[in-house]
Amino acid sequence: MMSARSIKQDSRPDGAWWQTETAYQIYPRSFCDSNGDGVGDIPGIISKLDYLADLGVGVVWLSPINTSPMADMGYDISNYRDIAPEFGTLADFDRMIAEGEKRGIRFIMDLVVNHTSDEHPWFKEARASRNSEYRDFYIWRDPHPEHGYPNDMMGFFGLPAWTFDEATGQFYFHLFDRRQPDLNWDNPDVRAAVHEIMRFWLDRGVAGFRMDAIDLIGKDPDAGIGLDGPRLHEFLREMHDAALDGRDTLTVGETSSARVTNALKFCGRDSREMSMVHQFEHTLLTWDKDKGKWKSRDFTLVELKAVFDRWQATLADDGWNSLFWSNHDLPRAVSKFGDDGEHRVMSAKMLATALHLMKGTPFVFQGEELGMTNFPFTDMSQFRDVEVFNHHEIQLAAGMSQQAFFAVASENCRDNARTPMQWTDGPHAGFSSAEPWIPVNPNYPQINAAAQIGDPDSVLAHYRRLAGLRRDLPVVSHGRYAPLAPEHPEVMAYTRTLGDERLTVVANFTAQSVAFDVPDDGRVQGRCLISNADARQAVSGRIMLAPFEAFAVLGPIS
Ligand code: ISL
Ligand code: CA
Pick from 75, 175, 322, 413 the residue to mutate for probing ligand 1's pocket: most ligand atoms within 8 Å of its CB.
75
Q: List 399's β-bridge partners, or say none.
A: none
Cβ atoms within 10 Å, residue 187: 16
Counting from 1 in the atom list of ligand 1, the atom nearest the Cα of 387 is 17
Give the model confidence (pLDDT) of 411-468 as tens digits. Answer: 999 999 999 999 999 999 999 999 999 999 999 999 999 999 999 999 999 999 999 9
Answer whether residue 398 shows pLDDT above 50. Answer: yes
User: Stretch 1-13: mean pLDDT, rounded?
Assistant: 38
- Closest C-alpha to 358, from 459, 465, 503: 503
Span from the CA of 280 to the centroid of ligand 1 (angstroms): 11
Active-site amino acid positions:
212, 254
Span from the CA of 387 to the centroid of ligand 2 (angstroms): 24
The two most distant CA atoms of the chain are separated, in Å, by 75
Answer whether residue 6 shows pLDDT above 90. Answer: no
The C-alpha atoms of residue 72 and residue 86 are separated, in whole angstroms, by: 15
| Distance set, CA 107 to CA 23, 369, 416, 422, 424 (Å) | 9, 19, 24, 22, 25
Give the model confidence (pLDDT) of 147-187 as tens digits. Answer: 899 999 999 988 899 999 999 999 999 999 999 999 999 99
Band of pLDDT at residue 10, cut at 50, 70 and 90 = very low
Answer whether residue 558 shows pLDDT above 90. Answer: no
The C-alpha atoms of residue 137 and residue 291 are separated, in whole angstroms, by: 32
Question: Residues with Cβ within 6 A of ligand 1?
Answer: 72, 75, 112, 156, 176, 212-213, 254, 256, 328-329
Q: What percent of the chain has pLDDT over 70?
A: 97
Answer whether residue 1 shows pLDDT above 90. Answer: no
Pick from 156, 254, 290 the residue to mutate for probing ligand 1's pocket: most ligand atoms within 8 Å of its CB.
156
Q: Which ligand is nearest to the CA of 45?
A: 2
Q: Which pLDDT does position 14 carry in this prediction? A: 60
Residue nearest atom 3 in ligand 1 by C-alpha distance: 256
Q: Which ligand is nearest to the CA of 390?
A: 1
Neighbouring residues of 303: CB distance < 8 A, sequence distance ≥ 6? 285
